[in-house]
Structure 1
Amino acid sequence: MAAGQPAISVDTKKKELVGDFKNPGRELRPKGQPEPVRVHDFELPGLGKVAPYGVYDLAANAGWVSVGVDADTAAFAVESIRRWWQQLGQVRYPKAKQLVITADCGGSNGARVRLWKRELQRFADECGLTVTVAHLPPGTSKWNRIEHRLFAAISQNWRGKPLVSHQVIVQLIGATTTQTGLTVRCELDANSYPKGIKVTDAEMVALAIERDAFHGEWNYTISPHQQSP
């Protein structure tokens, strides 16, 4: 950050049911006019669930959230990072040569997920950035900055409001702000991300990945195969 290079914190927020379901919290409404919600939380056909994947820019205090409607896979996670870079990152950091990512040790961006590393290699090849990933050790995911800098603010902003549609979810996330200057950009990702994709040993060998000297199982750097001009 001191060198002007981008550093981001990433994670998937808790999946949310889409529909007129109860959303914890209190919201000001006219007396005697509570908003009706369903008693049961069965998934509604045609609406399903959403998986909000967040990218938090540590230096800019700005967030990006891709609201996915399909599976929360490593391909979806890297696509969210790609969209952040294309829409916000490369404009904010035009001279960037390196990207640092802090992430949890499990989930779609887990340290042992092969698809996560393969997709990051593709992203590095596309943008010409050297991508350094630092995974938080197991049991320390709440230390990830995105949890209390972005996700907590989103939960506070939509408290008490039923998430009745994809449009409402995107608007509520995009309207999230804090007194410290947080801004959030949100978009719906309607792409499909199939589960069960296998990454072969040959594909792993082809990755330009270097393990860090300090806990290389959690910290590593992926370099682009060909430096961009």
Structure 2
Amino acid sequence: MGALAIALPCDGGPSNSSPYYIFTQDLQALVNELAMEIPIPHYPPYTSKYNPIGHRFFPHISPLCQGLIFESVQTVKDLMATATTRTRLKLLTTILYNTYQTGRKVAVDFKSNLKIVFDQFLPQWNYTPKPQLQVI
């Protein structure tokens, strides 16, 4: 049985703040908690149109939305859950009720403790955080 592996492709557009370190700080914390590497390839800014997930599902969701008034988030969730593709792919939907804190700042010493290996190919968008050793 092989080892568990995760790759996390991310949209790198300006609205997703991929160049900012708050995402990287939280990612480093996750990598430390899981004690495993998570390769991060970012789609370069303005190229999210090449995201295969969007191309597989958005054409099937758009016709379902025509002429509807979205009265609640639950209505949208239920509508999206009915979308399927010709190959019978189904969309798993969930509503996140978390309240995300705004105005968070990166820890003062975060950059000096960062344990990230940047890829040779497009290092500004492709990197792998490595688990940091926990001092007990």
TM range (shorter): 0.7 to 0.9
Partner of 1:136: 43
Q: How many residues align?
A: 134
In structure 2, how many angstroms separate the alpha carbons of the residues matched to 1:179 and 1:139? 28
Partner of 2:105: 198
More helix by share: 2
1:220 match: secondary structure: strand
In structure 1, how many angstroms separate the alpha carbons of the residues matched to 2:27 and 2:59? 27
| Counterpart residue type for residue 9 of structure 2 | T
Alpha-carbon contact 1:109-1:116 (below 8 Å) kept: no
1:223 aligns with 2:111: no
1:100 aligns with 2:7: yes
Distance 1:109 1:100, change over 3 A: farther
**Runs ≥4 in structure 1, deviation > 6 angstroms?**
none
How big is the shift at 1:107? 4.2
| Counterpart residue type for residue 33 of structure 2 | E
TM-score, length basis structure 2: 0.82
| Counterpart residue type for residue 204 of structure 1 | K
Same amino acid, percent of matched pairs: 33
* Most deviating of 208-217 and 120-129: 120-129
In structure 1, how many angstroms separate the alpha carbons of the residues matched to 2:10 and 2:30? 16
Question: 1:13-57: CA deviations, max 9, x gaps?
Answer: xxxxxxxxxxxxxxxxxxxxxxxxxxxxxxxxxxxxxxxxxxxxx
Question: 1:77-130: CA deviations, max 9, x gaps?
Answer: xxxxxxxxxxxxxxxxx9553322222222464430211111112222333331
How big is the shift at 1:207? 2.5
Higher relative contact order (Cα pairs below 8 Å, separated by 6+ residues): 2
How big is the shift at 1:142? 0.8
In structure 1, how many angstroms separate the alpha carbons of the residues matched to 2:58 and 2:3? 26
Alpha-carbon contact 1:102-1:135 (below 8 Å) kept: yes
In structure 2, how many angstroms separate the alpha carbons of the residues matched to 1:127 and 1:153? 35
Selected match of 1:161 from 68, 89, 95: 68
More strand by share: 1
How big is the shift at 1:214? 1.5
In structure 1, how many angstroms separate the alpha carbons of the residues matched to 2:114 and 2:66? 43
TM-score, length basis structure 1: 0.52
How big is the shift at 1:201? 4.5
| Counterpart residue type for residue 128 of structure 2 | T
Question: 1:132-177: CA deviations, max 9, x gaps?
Answer: 1111223322111122113333223333221111221111122221
What stretches of structure 2 of length at least 5 have no aligned partner? none
Distance 1:167 1:137, change over 3 A: closer
In structure 2, how many angstroms separate the alpha carbons of the residues matched to 1:186 and 1:117? 26
1:199 match: secondary structure: coil
2:22 match: secondary structure: helix
In structure 2, how many angstroms separate the alpha carbons of the residues matched to 1:102 and 1:155? 24
Selected match of 1:187 from 65, 87, 94: 94
In structure 1, how many angstroms separate the alpha carbons of the residues matched to 2:133 and 2:66? 46
